[in-house]
Amino acid sequence: MRYLLSFLLLSTYLFALISKPVHSKITSIDEENQRVTISSVKGAQIGMYGVIVHHFTNSHSIALDWVKIISTENNRIEAEMIPILALEQSALPTGTWTPKVNDEVILGYNYHRALLIAPNPSIYKKVTDYHKERYWVHPDIFAANLSYNGHPSPLVEDFTQTCRANNIGIVAFVFDQSIISVDCQSFEIIQNKSISEQTDEIQLPFYTRVTKIEASWFGEGSSEMKAYSPYYVNLLAESNPKNEWIQNYKQKLESKDKGSSWFSSWLPNVEVTIGDESYEDGFEKNHSSDK
């Protein structure tokens, strides 16, 4: 399988999305539906997580709820409120504070910390070297967590668990035509950028220095991964059912697999092209439908 990477393009705008937290304010609250409206900020994307912070004084504050952006229409951001469970402690007293208008909202929380899923060490090094504005949590940490869970084929739950434990905001996947970035908590696609230089080296399930990921006897994620792109594209497609780009990309990969299963075996020297090869602007054109 061939992978493409253009570092001129990467250095220009691969991670033009939020790379550090941005601050906004709550403008209205729908307590019945657990929704808030937030002042518009540049770079906000559907699926992006943030946190509501209530300030008691200039030096004392508390995080009240997570928020996930569900709409960015008409210069307003609508977000769903989600309880923060990571800090639950039944032995300690809890407060009765609830979000209020003018409370601070920090979007892109932990987006400066990212996990890169790459097919080989060369691509991993080039991408991380070009983007030093992010702190790249090494995939060995993720691989160790997979081994503990017995999942040589990563599940969405494995990603979110590792992200919560290591304060990671973004997971970026390198494919043959794109680098796709997802919010690690919602696993929704927030950016897709085209890439273009070829390599054939593939390491499964991704580049890591962990030599063996232990497998459970049975259950989801316990089987060995057979192919890099089809597996991760399918994982992203399941979490983004309304995203036309990833759904089309999944169908394209499936069509290629079907074609190679019989046609290529009979006529191995005939090059077969299936579907549209141009995806450079596909995400931007279709992103508005991912709501």
Q: Give per-residue pLDDT as tens, 166-219.
A: 989 999 999 887 889 999 999 999 988 887 656 678 999 999 999 999 999 888
Instruction: Please check whether residues 58 and 150 belong to one and the same domain.
Output: no
Q: What is the mean pLDDT of the chain?
A: 80
Query: What pLDDT score does 272 carry?
Result: 32
Q: Among 39, 72, 107, where does a domain finish?
A: 107
What does the pLDDT look like over 130-146, one tens digit per residue? 888 889 999 999 999 99
Instruction: Please check whether residues 166 and 58 belong to one and the same domain.
Output: no
Instruction: Please check whether residues 151 and 216 belong to one and the same domain.
Output: yes
Closest CA to 99 of 67, 68, 37, 54: 54
In one-letter notation, the amino acid at residue 195 is I
Give the residue ranges of DSSP H helices in the chain: 7-13, 121-130, 139-149, 156-166, 228-239, 244-266, 282-286
Instruction: Please check whether residues 131 and 154 belong to one and the same domain.
Output: yes
Q: Among 85, 107, 129, where does a domain finish?
A: 107
Three-state SS annotation for 161-182: HHHHHHCCCEEEEECCCEEEEE
Q: Among 107, 132, 162, where does a domain finish?
A: 107
Domain count, the chain: 2
Instruction: Please check whether residues 151 and 191 belong to one and the same domain.
Output: yes
Instruction: Please check whether residues 88 and 52 belong to one and the same domain.
Output: yes
What does the pLDDT look like over 6-34, one tens digit per residue? 444 443 444 445 667 888 999 999 988 99
Query: What pLDDT score does 124 carry?
Result: 93
Percent of the chain past pLDDT 90, that is, above it, reads: 46
Domain residues for the domain of 273 are 7-16+112-284
CA distance linking residue 46 with residue 25, whole number of Å: 17
Instruction: Please check whether residues 133 and 204 belong to one and the same domain.
Output: yes
Q: Is 2 within the bounds of a domain?
A: no
User: pTM to 2 decimals?
Assistant: 0.78
Query: What pLDDT score does 92 carry?
Result: 61
Instruction: Please check whether residues 183 and 275 belong to one and the same domain.
Output: yes
Instruction: Please check whether residues 180 and 116 belong to one and the same domain.
Output: yes
What does the pLDDT look like over 48-68, one tens digit per residue? 999 999 998 888 888 888 899
Query: What pLDDT score does 276 carry?
Result: 32
State the CB neighbour count (10 A cutoff) for residue 180.
25
